Amino acid sequence: VMRERKKKARLDLRNFNQVISIDESKKEAEVEGCTNFFDLVKETLKHGLIPKVVPEFRAITIGGAISGLGLESSSFKYGIVQENVKEITMLSGKGIITCSPKQYPDLFNALPNSFGSLGYVLKCKIDLIKCKKYVKMQVLKFTDPKIYFKELNRNLNVDFMDGVVFSPNHMVLVLGTFSDSVPKNEKQLNLYRDVFYVCLQKSNNKDILYLDTANYLFRWDKDAFWGIQYSKPISPILHNKITRQTALRPILRSDRHLALKKVIDWFSPKDKYEELIQDIGLQPKQMPEFLNWYDKNVGAYPVWICPLKKMKPNGTYPLFDFKGKIIVDFGFYTRLELKPGMSKNHHVRIVDAKIMKMGGMKGLYSKNTYSEKEFWQIYDKNAYMKAKKKYDPKGIFPDVYQKIIRE
């Protein structure tokens, strides 16, 4: 678990956590809904295969990523996790239903961003691709946001693309390609020793780094990007090569960070700080304007950048729609001091307002300050409610707005 749960009666589906089968010839895995991506990748790698999109935290489950918006550095090619799933068996409000783009498509398409409000994913068939043993990363450095965000629109022949903004004049793009081996003179990272984002920050233009494929896919997991670094007193310990490889080693996993968060809370009491874990989405051409606004009004760095390709025509998904061919995920994961006069959700509130004004969208997994009216100005209420009434006529599951405001 990455977050503390409020205890309440709930259906326990944790045992639905098995990889049922892997079909090498069809390049497809049948997998239960609560299987996490780390366990799935462990199995698929035995066949030289991986899912097309693997969210970067090891504990994210297939069902959670389908009903959230699972994306990663292959999303510039393959879109969100749900778009690489052929068939989903759900426990809906009307019983067990198997849906796909052809069978009950209204249910299938309403799932991205629905957060369990239409039922639970029990199992699914997920697409796989061939991979190689290593990923070669080329780090490109930029100093002009206009040029940087334009680059994300280019159709580059690589397997992975993401980036990090360290400041408005220090941005990196990381282009990943599969590789069979690591040349002798090249650097292979060890993520217990090396903090991944620091390696990117220190890289020169066109530097080459290598990771084996499993470590590449979960390269952001150990430090939750830089999310566990925001407490200044403990940050040096988390960056230290020796403590990382010894005492810290067992907890350098996103699903074991809760204990660490308690220590951070002690140094940065929650009432004095605002937790800011947000992923917002805008078109590449809007990003320089947003970055300029963000720098003045939020100013927390680093920021994760991940391009996501539109795979289906507008209007396909009621809870996930955007203008243009590509949307850029701009993710910031930190804790900011609240200055006198700021409300406890100050930064989330101003980000939500800015995104609404610019016609963007955001990952709903984190804190949201939208009123119900504002929320349904962004998403397609008619199509979602139609599916909700059809597949959950008795309202067994809360609707998506109630869920994202409560969580």
Ligand X SMILES: Cc1cc2nc3c(=O)[nH]c(=O)nc-3n(C[C@H](O)[C@H](O)[C@H](O)COP(=O)(O)OP(=O)(O)OC[C@H]3O[C@@H](n4cnc5c(N)ncnc54)[C@H](O)[C@@H]3O)c2cc1C
Phi, psi of 335 (to 5 degrees): -140, 125
Helix/strand/coil for 92: strand
Binding region for ligand X (CB under 6 A) out of 64-72, 172-180, 266-274, 290-298? 64-72
Cβ neighbour number for residue 246 with a 10 Å cutoff: 11
Q: Which is nearer to ligand X, 43 or 186 (CB)?
A: 43
40 binding ligand X? (CB under 6 A) = no
CA distances from 368 to 49, 180, 359, 362 (A): 37, 43, 16, 9
Contact 316, 83 (CB under 8 A): no
Number of residues that bind ligand X (CB under 6 A): 25
Smallest distance, ligand X to C-beta of residue 202, A:
22
228 binding ligand X? (CB under 6 A) = no
d(CA 10, CA 257): 24
Phi, psi of 302 (to 5 degrees): -70, 170
Q: Which is nearer to ligand X, 318 or 331 (CB)?
A: 331
Q: Which is nearer to ligand X, 9 or 157 (CB)?
A: 9
CA distances from 172 to 122, 135, 149, 180 (A): 39, 17, 10, 25
d(CA 80, CA 74): 9
79 binding ligand X? (CB under 6 A) = no
Residue choice 41, 71, 174, 280 for contact with ligand X (CB under 6 A): 71
Q: Which is nearer to ligand X, 73 or 286 (CB)?
A: 73
Contact 102, 137 (CB under 8 A): no
Helix/strand/coil for 175: strand
Residue 93 DSSP class: T
Site residues for ligand X, 376-405, by CB under 6 A, read 403
Binding region for ligand X (CB under 6 A) out of 23-31, 53-61, 136-144, 348-356? 53-61
Residue choice 19, 22, 29, 34 for contact with ligand X (CB under 6 A): 34
Q: To 5 degrees, how large is the angle CA 231–CA 233–CA 238?
A: 75
Residue choice 365, 370, 375, 401 for contact with ligand X (CB under 6 A): 365
Binding region for ligand X (CB under 6 A) out of 41-49, 56-64, 151-159, 189-197? 56-64
Residue choice 79, 93, 116, 176 for contact with ligand X (CB under 6 A): 116
* Strand duo 207-212 + 187-188: pairing: parallel
Q: Which is nearer to ligand X, 1 or 147 (CB)?
A: 1
- Taking Cα atoms as reference points, which of 187, 182, 194, 203 lies closest to residue 222? 194
Contact 131, 51 (CB under 8 A): no
d(CA 110, CA 118): 8
Q: Which is nearer to ligand X, 68 or 307 (CB)?
A: 68
d(CA 353, CA 350): 5
Smallest distance, ligand X to C-beta of residue 5, A:
8
Binding region for ligand X (CB under 6 A) out of 115-123, 156-164, 178-186, 237-245? 115-123
Q: Which is nearer to ligand X, 240 or 366 (CB)?
A: 366
Site string for ligand X, 313-332 (x = CB under 6 A): ------------------x-
Cis peptide before 302 (omega within 30 of 0): yes
Residue choice 41, 50, 60, 165 for contact with ligand X (CB under 6 A): 60
Smallest distance, ligand X to C-beta of residue 60, A:
5
Smallest distance, ligand X to C-beta of residue 284, A:
18
- Taking Cα atoms as reference points, which of 252, 296, 301 lies closest to residue 276? 301
307 binding ligand X? (CB under 6 A) = no
Smallest distance, ligand X to C-beta of residue 116, A:
3
Smallest distance, ligand X to C-beta of residue 96, A:
13
56 binding ligand X? (CB under 6 A) = yes
Site residues for ligand X, 150-169, by CB under 6 A, read none
277 binding ligand X? (CB under 6 A) = yes
d(CA 185, CA 183): 6
Contact 401, 375 (CB under 8 A): yes
281 binding ligand X? (CB under 6 A) = no
| CA neighbours closer than 13 Å in the CB half-sphere of residue 289 | 11
68 binding ligand X? (CB under 6 A) = yes
Binding site for ligand X (CB under 6 A): 2-3, 33-34, 55-56, 59-61, 63-65, 67-68, 70-71, 115-116, 120-121, 277, 331, 363, 365, 403
